[in-house]
């Protein structure tokens, strides 16, 4: 029988990270260790548990059947232990030097960060924010592991198993330059279909529903340009006769500066509900509570 006194807790942490990352280099970077130190830790754990745990493959370190069996229990145990150790941690935003990692899109950064950073400068000058981009799969994993503190946006992949709080809704509008041939009149479906369009695909965000609804509407469009993100669209529209379907907040923040005009969208596109999401491991974290309450107070509509 394997006894707890025979185990070094750090070895279980190495196991947990190796199961998630599948590469010794990534584990070494996360733990601030050298790769030989990580390899040595795995060797010690193999001896203690009597199993190879991970086998080298072309795609990295693949877990053995035994490692698959124990991985979830170890992850839950480490999660509960960390939560228990931090339950009484006090958080003072005026003195804290904490860095929060927030997953959000470029749209979110543009709309929220000017006001948020001004607020932090006055009320929490030592706090810093790092924003990250994640795929659907990596965002879940990073929030479950604590690598991401908060996610903000239209993120249907996080609706199950995560806490969430509504902030506001994003409506969609048509954006074009003021001198555009269609700018002077109401934008009907017919005129909309005659225009040349930018299609913004916005993969790994919930904004992909816009293109799906436009396709289902059956309205024909001429599409000479496709973009992966929203932010460059207003600048391209300002110099061309292209029309872009964008969020209303992006349109309002760029229209005056770039000489653009905003039209109600002729297609009935359902608005996007923007929420903030957090994992249960952060639910009682005092710093996380402060951050999400601050964001709610600043941006909830």
Q: Is 179 exposed, middle or buried (0-12, 13-18, 19+ CB in 10 A)?
A: exposed
- What average pLDDT does range 202-224 have in this prediction? 80
* 179, 164: one domain: no
Considering the entire predicted model, what is its pTM?
A: 0.66
Q: d(Cα 268, Cα 218) in Å, to the nearest integer?
A: 12
Q: How confident is the model at residue 278 (pLDDT cuts 50, 70, 90)?
A: very high
* 198, 279: one domain: no
Task: Work out whether strand 99-103 and strand 150-153 pair parallel, antiparallel, or are unpaired.
Answer: parallel
Residue 239 domain-assigned (yes or no): yes
- Say how many domains are in the chain: 3
* 154, 177: one domain: no
Residue 94 domain-assigned (yes or no): no
- What average pLDDT does range 250-279 have in this prediction? 92
* 250, 112: one domain: no
Q: d(Cα 298, Cα 152) in Å, to the nearest integer?
A: 13
Residue 129 domain-assigned (yes or no): yes
* 183, 259: one domain: yes
Final residue belonging to a domain, choices 85, 120, 135: 85
* 123, 258: one domain: no
* 215, 154: one domain: no
Query: Phi then psi for 73, rounded to 5 degrees?
Result: -65, -40
For the chain, the maximum distance between any two Cα atoms, rounded to a whole number of angstroms, is 80
Asked if residue 80 has pLDDT above 90, the reply is: no
* 284, 160: one domain: yes
- The pLDDT value recorded for residue 129 is 95
- Round the average pLDDT of the chain to a whole number and report it: 88
* 249, 279: one domain: no
- The pLDDT value recorded for residue 89 is 63
- The pLDDT value recorded for residue 137 is 64
Interhelix angle 24-31/35-49, nearest 10 degrees: 110
Domain range spanning residue 290? 99-168+273-299
Residue 91 domain-assigned (yes or no): no
How many C-beta atoms surround the C-beta of residue 22 within 10 A?
16
Per-residue pLDDT tens for 44-79? Answer: 989 888 899 999 887 778 899 998 998 898 888 888
Per-residue pLDDT tens for 166-211? Answer: 999 989 999 999 999 988 888 888 898 889 999 988 776 767 778 8
């Amino acid at each position: 029988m394997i006894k707890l006194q025979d185990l070094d807790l750090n070895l279980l942490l190495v196991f947990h990270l190796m199961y998630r990352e599948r590469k010794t280099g990534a584990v070494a970077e996360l733990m601030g260790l050298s790769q030989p130190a990580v390899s040595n830790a795995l060797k010690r754990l193999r001896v203690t548990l009597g199993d190879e745990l991970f086998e080298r493959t072309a795609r990295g370190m693949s877990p053995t059947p035994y490692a698959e069996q124990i991985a979830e229990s170890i992850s839950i145990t480490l999660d509960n232990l960390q939560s228990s150790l931090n339950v009484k941690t006090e958080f003072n935003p005026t003195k804290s030097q904490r860095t929060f990692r927030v997953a959000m899109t470029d749209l979110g950064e543009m709309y929220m960060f000017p006001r948020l950073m001004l607020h932090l400068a006055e009320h929490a000058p030592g706090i810093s924010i790092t924003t990250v981009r994640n795929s659907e799969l990596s965002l879940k994993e990073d929030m479950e592991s604590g690598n991401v503190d908060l996610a903000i946006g239209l993120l249907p992949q996080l609706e199950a198993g995560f806490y969430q709080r509504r902030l506001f809704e994003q409506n969609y509008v048509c954006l074009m330059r003021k001198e555009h041939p269609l700018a002077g009149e109401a934008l009907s479906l017919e005129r909309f279909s005659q225009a040349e369009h930018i299609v913004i695909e916005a993969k790994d965000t919930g904004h992909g529903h816009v293109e799906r609804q436009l396709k289902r509407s059956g309205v024909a469009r001429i599409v000479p340009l496709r973009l992966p993100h929203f932010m460059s669209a207003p600048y391209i529209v300002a110099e061309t006769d292209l029309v872009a379907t964008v969020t209303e907040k992006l349109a309002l923040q760029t229209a005056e500066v770039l000489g653009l005009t905003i039209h109600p969208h002729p297609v009935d596109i359902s608005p996007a509900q923007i929420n903030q999401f957090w994992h249960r491991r952060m639910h009682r974290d005092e710093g996380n509570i402060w951050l999400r309450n601050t964001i709610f107070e600043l941006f909830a509509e």
